[in-house]
């Protein structure tokens, strides 16, 4: 792992209220960026989460859940407001559809902390990069942080909270252009560019911005795209409990492996530029290097383990054999 400074995740933390086909309701801490932070913490990374949660019961549940896996909340993340919720309604296959009650904005104290404590790597995505007023704060922070940190991004759009895909697309692709690694699901890209093959979008992104773009395909595995080629990542058979947090577990494990390999991670001086150049060099070929293939396989394993249990519950290093 490069450097000793913590990596940073910026984005929403909330409570997933899961409603199963049997109408039973269960509450679990969640939020896509928070799930990625949780996954990185369980994989042994020093990690901070810049977010917004209340001093209410749900907020305490979220904070204790994150801190138990080594995630530190950025100062100012706890506010005097209600903690956001997402109700996930599961169908008989375990797939989730969401209904949100969420407010997203970063406090002034969080913004100051981001300026004063630059990370080695920054990850963001989902509601945090789309919902006003916080989306503009996140976008501006990425611009500033990119000089000292590498960047990963998962658009993970939530159409129920957003404007039309046509109006959201420009913001998504601006962040893609700032990023070194992007993960998106086949469903995400089908919504962002209706009528266009998601593979075409992923390939275009990989040729014009990030060094690595990963398209997740649900039960069909995933496909990695880089400037000169692509590679399929086969699915790992699993008895699905639900799919909540599977993509976030994939993102956390992929980021973790790339950090360990020195292909992500910045810090003082030129370390971010060095890692960025190493990642670009690793993908500047028609064959995917072994280290990236291993990282993608580990990510698929993490997603499968998460699908095998209820809620966003990413695996630990021991569970992945690391």
Asked if residue 172 has pLDDT above 60, the reply is yes
Contact 278, 263 (CB under 8 A): yes
Model-wide pTM > 0.85: yes
Instruction: Quote the DSSP letter at residue 6.
Output: P
pLDDT, one tens digit per residue, over 181-194 is 999 999 999 999 99
> CATH no. for residue 249?
3.40.1190.20
Is there a domain that residue 322 lies in? no
pLDDT, one tens digit per residue, over 18-33 is 777 666 778 889 999 9
1: pLDDT confidence band, cut at 50, 70 and 90? very low
Is there a domain that residue 146 lies in? yes
Is there a domain that residue 173 lies in? yes
CA separation, residue 201 to residues 173, 194, 220, 224 (Å): 10, 11, 18, 12
Higher model confidence: residue 311 or residue 129?
129
Q: Which residue from 213, 320, 170 is spatially nearest to 256, judged by alpha carbons?
A: 320
Q: How much is the pLDDT for 260? A: 92
User: Total structural domains in the chain?
Assistant: 1
pLDDT, one tens digit per residue, over 130-156 is 999 999 999 999 999 998 899 999 999
Backbone angles phi and psi of 44, in degrees to 5: 95, 10
- Full residue range of the structural domain in which residue 39 is found: 7-307
Helix, strand, coil abundance in the chain, percent, nearest 5: 40, 20, 40
Is there a domain that residue 312 lies in? no
Q: Which residue from 67, 65, 51 is spatially nearest to 102, judged by alpha carbons?
A: 51
């Amino acid at each position: 792992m490069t450097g000793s400074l913590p990596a940073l995740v910026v984005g929403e933390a909330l409570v997933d209220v899961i409603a199963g086909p049997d109408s039973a309701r269960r509450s679990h801490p969640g939020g896509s960026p928070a799930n990625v932070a949780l996954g990185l913490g369980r994989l042994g990374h020093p990690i901070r989460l810049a977010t917004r949660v209340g001093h209410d019961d749900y907020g305490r549940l979220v904070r204790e859940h994150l801190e138990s896996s080594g995630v530190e909340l950025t100062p100012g993340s706890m506010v005097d407001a209600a903690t956001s919720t997402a109700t996930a309604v599961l169908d008989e296959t375990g797939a989730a559809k969401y209904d949100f009650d969420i407010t997203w904005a970063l406090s002034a104290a969080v913004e100051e902390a981001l300026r004063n404590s630059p990370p080695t790597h920054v990850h963001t995505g989902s509601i945090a990069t789309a919902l006003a007023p916080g989306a503009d704060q996140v976008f501006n922070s990425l611009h500033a942080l990119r000089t000292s940190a590498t960047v990963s991004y998962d658009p993970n759009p939530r159409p129920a909270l957003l404007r039309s895909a046509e109006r959201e697309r420009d913001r998504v692709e601006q962040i893609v252009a700032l990023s070194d690694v992007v993960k998106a699901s086949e469903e995400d890209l089908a919504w962002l560019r209706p009528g266009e093959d998601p593979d075409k979008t992923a390939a275009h992104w990989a040729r014009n911005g990030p060094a690595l773009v990963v398209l997740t395909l649900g039960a069909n595995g995933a496909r990695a795209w880089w400037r000169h080629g692509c590679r399929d990542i086969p699915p790992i058979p699993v008895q699905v409990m639900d799919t909540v947090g599977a993509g976030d577990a994939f993102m956390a494990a992929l980021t973790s492996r790339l950090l360990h390999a020195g292909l992500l991670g910045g810090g003082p001086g030129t370390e971010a530029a060095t890692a960025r150049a190493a990642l670009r060099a690793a993908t500047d070929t028609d064959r995917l290097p072994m280290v990236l293939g291993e990282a993608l396989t580990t990510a698929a394993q993490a997603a499968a383990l998460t699908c095998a249990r209820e809620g966003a519950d990413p695996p630990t290093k021991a569970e992945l054999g690391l």
